[in-house]
Amino acid sequence: MHLTCRDLVVRFRPDVELFRGLSFDLTQGDLVSLTGPSGSGKSTLLEVLAGWRAPTAGTVSRNGVVTVAWVFQSPVGVARRSALDHVALPFLVQGTRRPGADARAAELLDRFGLAAVADRPFGALSGGEAQRLMFTRAVAKGADLLLVDEPTAQLDPASAATVNRVLGELAGTRSIVVVASHDLATQAACDRTIDVRGVPAGVAT
């Protein structure tokens, strides 16, 4: 499974051009961070990688990448449904019956340090817990490609640290994880960094 981008360009108007021929390769287990100033197109690049936006020029090759999961800056959930319900849903969709889905969801919640809040409604979770829940659900979905957009932007430092720790645990898993973030700690949790302005930034680890 690998993801290859070649000579990417996204143009919004004739005078606004992003990426300028950006090229990179990602493979299974990669955990990379996208860097660049505000407006440089980090989120846009995530959309391109997800297949939700076609680039103006260049190609994206996603060999073996079928399922894509997103983790957004603001966690998305159903306020009155429990954390367990959120993680169980992907298993139910995969055909697992409720008891099995709950068991597997509980296992994942435990792995991500959320066992204590499994029965708590999503609306009652703290920001850090909700964001970690989003990661947990993405793993439950079995995503080949996990796209993460500013996961710590709305969190206090302590919550952000827990989220970054969870992020770091995703390295080397079966997914390709791409994170758009200004947060240096988040970038440090990743294996390497891609500057979306098209400038090679080297390896961050």
Partner 1 sequence: MRRRRSADDGAPPPAYSRSARPRRAPRDRMEPGEVVREAWRDVSTGVARPLLAAGVLALIMAMSGVWAARGVVDLSQEAREFRTAGASTAIMTMEMVVDGAVCDSLATYPGIEAAGALRPVAQGVRFAVSPSRAIPLFEVSVGFIDLLSVIGAARANPDGGGVSGVWLPEATAEALGLAPEGPWPDLAIPAGGQVRVAGLYTFPEDGRQQDLSFAVLAPVPAPDGLALDSCWAELWPATYEVSRLAVAVEPLRIDGSKAVNPTFAQLNSTLGEQFDGPARFAEVARAPGVALAGAASLAAGFVLIRVRRLELADSRHCGLSWATQGWTMLAEAACWILPAAAVAAPVVLIAALAGNPEPPGPAAAAGAMAVVCAAAGAAVGTLLGTWTIAERQLFQMVKNR
- Residues in contact with partner 1 by CB under 8 A are 4, 6-7, 9, 11, 17, 20-24, 43, 47, 50-52, 54-63, 66-67, 69-70, 72-74, 76-81, 85, 89-90, 92-95, 97-98, 137, 141, 194-195, 198-201
CA-only gyration radius of the chain, Å? 17
Least distance between partner 1 and beta carbon 140 (Å):
8
Q: Which is nearer to partner 1, 165 or 191 (CB)?
A: 191
Q: Which is nearer to partner 1, 104 or 165 (CB)?
A: 104
Reference 106, options 82, 123, 130; nearest CA is 82
Q: Which is nearer to partner 1, 152 or 158 (CB)?
A: 152
Least distance between partner 1 and beta carbon 122 (Å):
9
- Strands of the 145-149 sheet, one edge to the other: 68-71, 145-149, 176-180, 31-35, 192-195
If you ran DSSP here, which 8-state letter would residue 34 be given? E
Contact 75, 119 (CB under 8 A): no
Least distance between partner 1 and beta carbon 172 (Å):
22
Reference 1, options 51, 61, 63; nearest CA is 63
Whole-angstrom distance, CA of residue 88 vs CA of residue 94: 10
Q: Which is nearer to partner 1, 161 or 191 (CB)?
A: 191
Q: Which two tokens stand for residue 125?
A: 């979770």
Reference 33, options 167, 140, 169; nearest CA is 167
Q: Which is nearer to partner 1, 58 or 165 (CB)?
A: 58
Least distance between partner 1 and beta carbon 25 (Å):
9
If you ran DSSP here, which 8-state letter would residue 81 be given? S
Least distance between partner 1 and beta carbon 167 (Å):
19
Angle at which helices 98-111 and 83-93 cross, to 10°: 120
Q: Which is nearer to partner 1, 15 or 157 (CB)?
A: 15
Least distance between partner 1 and beta carbon 94 (Å):
6
